Structure 1
């Protein structure tokens, strides 16, 4: 389902992201269950992102194409549908009816450790074709192919090799591939980020990390702070994003 757009409200630019602004509490029209849905957004190739307002009722649930004021004025039709015995038109099921004049409190959102960023219109892109990983060279090949799939063309080996693993460079991107059977550490993430900042010059350079053995908790925390996309790889050869920065990179591409 999709929350209805509030046509009488203006879209606002997204400057700082917060939990409260990225999610709305909506009610499913089929089963009546309330849940958290991504706030619709519209992004442009220039980098601007607009948050599109949606129509929600007073209790936080999305209305059926009307604003909260219009829903209150048309409350009689909702009551009539409930009396007619249509389960899809009635409110969400609960242990009992709420007392008149008292709004039912919406459930407190449970903050997961990894929240994919909402994208209303992801750019069309063919499915990534994985390559089986048998050794360290295959891991580097998969990472290079994945970067090209994201739109970073002309990938090549970086001139400066890291203490461990390999680095791939492309226009606007510096990626590190760690094929070792040890989790990537905080120091590894920081070194990649610092190298990308050093080589940036006048043109911004993004960075991304690909690891076969995953990441330590400290590495994941620091990557979230620095905005470094983290990907894991397995023998199937399909990189998987594991933090919000990686989700955003997959959604937007180069």
Structure 2
């Protein structure tokens, strides 16, 4: 459901309730820009192409697309730009922390960072568990998925892959074939299952 936030016009002081427009993702879900409640809107004075668009991540599949930046027309005539949270909110440390907290919450024990330097394809581990956390700006590729799967196979462990930027179509296909759970970290840092194995893992440990 799209988020509704209060917006006050900086010109006339009039208050509004603004709901982010929803757009169709190719996966069939709808996406909307993650609005920031409490941050002041800015008046649009001059338009540039780059300012007209914002990157939005689909919470269902992790795909990122460019959509029109949310704007609101006030009765006084001002056009207001509503603040949007960045799609990759968080550092590598934040992403690993959020993934670890999620794994602990669904029932895994003693989830810790892999020893530095991290083993190839493993950022977090626990008894019977290996996980990778990709905080890069590009979607994870099939090679990364296969690397995690091989590590899990070698250790007879459950695997889980977390990504800030989502996954390529090839990576998702490979993960489905290998049974690797894929999660995307949404702008708030909450992991969301994006394939069947991830949904099964979430349910089985809930």
What is the TM-score with the length of structure 2 in the denominator? 0.54
Q: 1:163 to 1:172 in 2, by over 3 A?
A: closer
Whose strand proportion is higher, 1 or 2?
2
Aligned equivalent of 2:182: 230
Give secondary structure in 1 for the equivalent of 2:123.
strand
Aligned equivalent of 1:191: 147
Please list, as runs of the form range in 1=range in 2, the aligned pairs for 1:81-230 lying within 5 A after superposition: 133-159=89-115, 161-162=118-119, 167-200=123-156, 205-230=157-182
Tell me the alpha carbon deviations over residues 4-35 of structure 1, each in whole angstroms, 9 at most, x when there is no partner. xxxxxxxxxxxxxxxxxxxxxxxxxxxxxxxx
C-alpha distance in 1, partners of 2:118/2:141?
17
* Greater RCO structure (CA 8 Å; 6+ sep): 2
User: Shift of residue 234 of structure 1?
Assistant: 2.3
Where in structure 2 are there 5+ consecutive unaligned residues? Answer: 1-60, 62-87
Structure 1 consecutive aligned stretches of length 4 or more whose deviation exceeds 4 Å: none
User: Shift of residue 163 of structure 1?
Assistant: 5.0
C-alpha distance in 2, partners of 1:214/1:134?
15
Aligned equivalent of 1:14: none
User: Shift of residue 178 of structure 1?
Assistant: 0.2
CA RMSD of aligned residues (A): 2.1
C-alpha distance in 2, partners of 1:248/1:225?
15
Where in structure 1 are there 5+ consecutive unaligned residues? Answer: 1-113, 115-131
Aligned residues: 119
